[in-house]
Amino acid sequence: MVEVAAEPAAEAIVEPVAEPVAEPAEVVAVDTPVDVGTTATADEGPDALTQAVDNACGQAVDNLGDPMPQPELAPEPEPQPEPEPEPQPLAPPFSQVALEALGPVRRLAWTPGRDCPAELLALAAQLDQPTAAAPLVNDLALLEMVRIARERRHALRVDEAVWLWLAPARDMRERVHLLETRMPEGPASPLLTALVTLPLRTYQGEGALYAACAGRSVLADDAGLGRTVQAVAALRLLAAQFGAERALVLAPAERLAHWAEQWQALTGLSALQAGSVTDITAAAQAEASPQAPLLLLAEAALAVQADTLAALQAFAPDSVVVDESDDANLSPWLDTDFAAALATLDGPFALSVARTPVEVRPRALRAMLEWVDASCLGAIGRLEALAEAPVAERLEALGPWLLRRTKTLVLRQLPETVEAICPVELDAAERPLHDARLAQIVRAVQRWQRSRYLSDADQRRLLSTLHALRLGCNAGKIGTTIEGLETLLAEPDMRVVVFSQWVDSLEALSAALTERGIAHLALPVDVGGEARRALVSAFQQDPQQRVLLCCDDSPGGQLGLRHAATAILHLDRPWNPALLAQRFSRVHRADRVRQVPVCHLVASDTLEERLVRAQDDEASREHFVGLIDGAQAEAFLGGARLERFMTALSVLVGVPA
C-alpha cells in the first residue's frame, strides 16, 4: 500500500496516488475491467481514496491468475441428415414360378409374393434339388406347391413354359412305370421277345427297354453287341406300347440295304428305302399303323435338299433313328447343317446309334446330346461340368441319355472266342532291314523329344520308314498263313476271313494261295453296293469259297456272316485298338453260338511285337486310341495329333519321355 499525507492537498493527493494507480492499471491493461466499487473522490477524504486504491490493486493482482482468454473458433458445420432409403417396391400380390435359361441349362425360377405361406417358401427351396422319385427335375415339389397354394388361398402363377419343360421328364417316369407293370420279367418278357423273330440276348433286351424308357437317347455300345438289333427292337416296342407307329431311319447310303435286311429278318415287315421326295410323300399319305413300312433315307439328303426336309416334316415321324458310319470322320454329327435340319423333326422318340467310341469324340457327343436332350433337362450341363472328370464318371452322369456298354461288361453273354498269338520269325533278308529302319525311327523320336519340332519333310520320311518297317514284318508271314489256313479249313464247314491293312500284303497272299490251289475271294477296297454284297454272299454260301481276304480300307459295315462258322486271321496288327475291334465286329456277331478262333500273326522281336505288348497293357493302351492307321497314315499331322502320334511312337521304340 502507498502511504498518503494527512492533509488533503490536491497536489499531495494526486502524486502519491498516481503511481500506485498507474502501475496496477498497466498490469490489468488487458480487456478485463477493474471494478473498484464506488468511485472515490478527494471530497470524500483520504481514507476513502486510499481504500479505493487498495481495492483496485488487489483486484488487479487477483486477475493475474485468471487464464488467458482464447480466440473465438469458427462454429463447426451442422451434420447433414442421413439420406432416407429409397422406397422398395412391394412384392406382387402373387407368387410365380417361371422357366429360366442359363445357356444350355434350364432351371425353375421362384418369385415369392406378399404374404407367401411358409410352406411354399420351404418347398420352393427344393425345386432345384432332384430326388430319387424325380431324378431330373423336382416337379413333385412344384405340384405340392400348387396344392398348398390352393388350400391357403394364395395366388400362385406357373408359366406355361414350365409345364412344357417338365413334360418330357414326367413322360419318362411314366414309361418306366408302365413297362415295369406290363413287363415284370424285364428283358425276358414275352411281350418284348414276341416283337422280333430272333432271340434277344439279355443285354440286347435291356438296351431296347432303356431306349423305350428314355424316349430320346444315345446307344453307344461296343461294336459287335448288336446295336442295330437293339434299335429295331426299341422301334417295335415303342410302336406296340406307346403308339409310335411312324418311324424314320437316317443312315449312310451304304448302310441302308443292311437296315432293310435287318428289319425284314427281325420283324417280318417291309422297309421303304426312299429314293425321292415322292417316296416320302407317299409314306406320309399312307395310314399310320404298327405294320407300316420303316422309312429309310440317306442322311446326306437331309441337310442339302430343302424339299426332302419339308416332305419329312409332313411325314411327321414319331420315332427317328440316326445311324452313323464306321468312320468317325464321316459322322453326320460333325455337320452343323445336318444337326439343324434334324432338330426340325421334333418327334417324341429319338435314338442316335454311335458306331465308334463317343468318349474320344467330344464334338460329336455334344451334338448327339443336344439332339436327344432337346428340352435341356441337363445333359449338356453335366457334360460341361464333368469335362475334366474321368471317362467312367462322365458316362455314368450321362446315364439318363446315353447307354454305353463294352464287350467286357457283357462278356458272359457273348459266345466264347479263342484267341492266339502266332509268332513268325523274320527271314535273313528282312532282319537287317528291320533293325536299320528301327534305328532311324529311334533317332527321329529322340530329336523330336529334344526340340518338340518335326518338319513336314521329316514327318514324311518318318512315316515312310515306319510304313516300310511294318510292311516288311508281313513278308515272312505268307508261308505261316497258308499253314494256318490249311489247318482251319480241315473242319468242313469252317470259313476264314484274313484281315490286313496293306493291299500289297493281301495281293502277295492271294498269289501264294492261287499257287497252292486254295480257292479264295478278295474284297477290293473300291467295291461297294451290290458287287460287295454278291462277294459276301458267295463267301457265305458257296462251299468252294471258304477264304475271304479283306483290307481295312474296304467298305465298312458288317460282312453278314451270322450263320457261318467263321475264324479270323490277322495278318498284321493295327495301331488303333478301335480298328482291331472293328475287324472283329465285322465277323463276330452277338447272336452267334459257336466259338470263334482268332489268330494274330506277329513277327517276333520287332516293332510289331512291342505294339502287341503295349496294347495289351492297360496303362499303355490309351496312347494308341484314336490314332490314324492304314492309308490315313500318309497324311500330315500337326498340333495335338502330332504330339499323340510321337508319344505313342516313343512308347513303342522304348525311348523314355
Contacts of 276 (CB under 8 A, 6+ apart): none
Which of 52-66, 91-105, 408-422, 445-459 bottoms out in mean pLDDT, i.e. has the lowest?
52-66
Whether the pLDDT of residue 43 is over 80: the answer is no
Query: Where does the pLDDT of residue 564 fall: very low under 50, low under 70, confident under 90, or very high at 90 and above?
Result: low
Res 649: pLDDT: 86
Q: CB-side exposure of 628: number of CA atoms within 13 Å?
A: 18
Task: Note whether residue 115 is domain-resident.
Answer: no
Classify the phi-psi angles of 78: left when phi > 0, otherwise alpha if psi is within -120 to 50, otherwise beta: beta
Render pLDDT for 149-180 as a digit per residue (tens, 0 to 9).
999 999 999 999 999 999 999 999 999 999 99
DSSP state of 43: G
Task: Note whether residue 38 is domain-resident.
Answer: yes
Average pLDDT over residues 362-369: 96
Same domain, 454 and 366: no
* Nearest Cα to Cα of residue 401 among 334, 331, 354: 354
Res 11: pLDDT: 37
Render pLDDT for 493-523 as a digit per residue (tens, 0 to 9).
888 999 998 888 999 999 999 999 999 999 8
Query: Where does the pLDDT of residue 32 fall: very low under 50, low under 70, confident under 90, or very high at 90 and above?
Result: very low
Report d(CA 34, CA 22) in Å as an integer: 13
* Average pLDDT of the residues of the chain: 83
Final residue belonging to a domain, choices 357, 380, 411: 411
Res 416: pLDDT: 66
Render pLDDT for 48-70 as a digit per residue (tens, 0 to 9).
555 655 665 555 545 545 555 56
Task: Note whether residue 269 is domain-resident.
Answer: yes
Whether the pLDDT of residue 343 is over 70: the answer is yes
Same domain, 378 and 447: no
Q: CB-side exposure of 483: number of CA atoms within 13 Å?
A: 8
Same domain, 372 and 317: yes
CATH of the domain at 257: 3.40.50.10810
Pair type for strands 95-102 and 105-111: antiparallel
Average pLDDT over residues 518-534: 84
Q: Is the C-alpha dihedral spanning 251, 257, 262, 265 positive or negative?
A: positive
Task: Note whether residue 643 is domain-resident.
Answer: yes
Report d(CA 309, CA 334) in Å as an integer: 19
Whether the pLDDT of residue 15 is over 90: the answer is no
Please give the radius of gyration of the chain, using alpha carbons only, rounded to the nearest integer: 47
Task: Note whether residue 133 is domain-resident.
Answer: no
Classify the phi-psi angles of 554: left when phi > 0, otherwise alpha if psi is within -120 to 50, otherwise beta: beta
Residue range of the domain that includes 39: 10-60
Contact predicate 441/466, CB 8 Å:
yes
Same domain, 471 and 609: yes
Contacts of 155 (CB under 8 A, 6+ apart): 93, 94, 95, 113, 149
Report d(CA 89, CA 269) in Å as an integer: 66
Same domain, 398 and 452: no
Report d(CA 265, CA 258) in Å as an integer: 10
Which stretch of DSSP H or E encloses residue 163? helix 160-182
Q: CB-side exposure of 474: number of CA atoms within 13 Å?
A: 21
Res 492: pLDDT: 84
Question: In total, how many domains does the chain have?
Answer: 3
Same domain, 504 and 609: yes
Same domain, 225 and 258: yes
Final residue belonging to a domain, choices 386, 411, 436: 411
Query: Where does the pLDDT of residue 619 fall: very low under 50, low under 70, confident under 90, or very high at 90 and above?
Result: low
DSSP state of 186: G
Contact predicate 552/499, CB 8 Å:
yes
Res 303: pLDDT: 78
Same domain, 562 and 468: yes
Contact predicate 296/320, CB 8 Å:
no
Res 624: pLDDT: 64
Res 54: pLDDT: 62
Whether the pLDDT of residue 555 is over 90: the answer is no
How many other CB atoms are there within 10 angstroms of residue 81's CB atom?
6
Res 629: pLDDT: 54
Neighbouring-strand partners of residue 568? 497, 598
Helices (H), 520-634: 529-541, 577-587, 607-616, 618-621
Top mean pLDDT of 66-75, 271-280, 637-646 is at: 271-280
Strand runs labelled E in 212-318: 216-219, 247-251, 271-273, 294-298
Report d(CA 607, CA 58) in Å as an integer: 126
Helices (H), 39-100: 46-63
**3-state SS, residue 33:** coil
**3-state SS, residue 272:** strand
What Cα–Cα distance (Å) separates residue 97 from each residue in 149, 240, 404?
Answer: 12, 37, 36
Which of 21-30, 111-120, 218-227 bottoms out in mean pLDDT, i.e. has the lowest?
21-30
Final residue belonging to a domain, choices 41, 60, 79: 60
Whether the pLDDT of residue 409 is over 80: the answer is yes
Whether the pLDDT of residue 626 is over 60: the answer is no
Report d(CA 336, CA 302) in Å as an integer: 12
Res 644: pLDDT: 81
- Own/partner pairs for 426-434, CB < 8 Å, 24+ apart? 426/472, 426/473, 426/475, 426/476, 426/603, 426/604, 426/605, 426/606, 427/475, 427/476, 430/472, 430/473, 430/475, 430/476, 433/468, 433/472, 434/469, 434/472, 434/473, 434/606, 434/607
Report d(CA 249, CA 107) in Å as an integer: 33
Same domain, 392 and 432: no
Same domain, 344 and 376: yes
Res 627: pLDDT: 56
Query: Where does the pLDDT of residue 532 fall: very low under 50, low under 70, confident under 90, or very high at 90 and above?
Result: confident
Contact predicate 224/566, CB 8 Å:
no
Task: Note whether residue 106 is domain-resident.
Answer: no
Res 561: pLDDT: 59
Same domain, 402 and 422: no
Task: Note whether residue 129 is domain-resident.
Answer: no
Same domain, 377 and 486: no
Of 621 and 431, the one with more pLDDT: 431
Query: Where does the pLDDT of residue 589 fall: very low under 50, low under 70, confident under 90, or very high at 90 and above?
Result: low
Whether the pLDDT of residue 531 is over 50: the answer is yes
Report d(CA 120, CA 154) in Å as an integer: 10
Query: Where does the pLDDT of residue 190 fall: very low under 50, low under 70, confident under 90, or very high at 90 and above?
Result: very high
Task: Note whether residue 218 is domain-resident.
Answer: yes
CATH of the domain at 595: 3.40.50.300
Res 370: pLDDT: 96
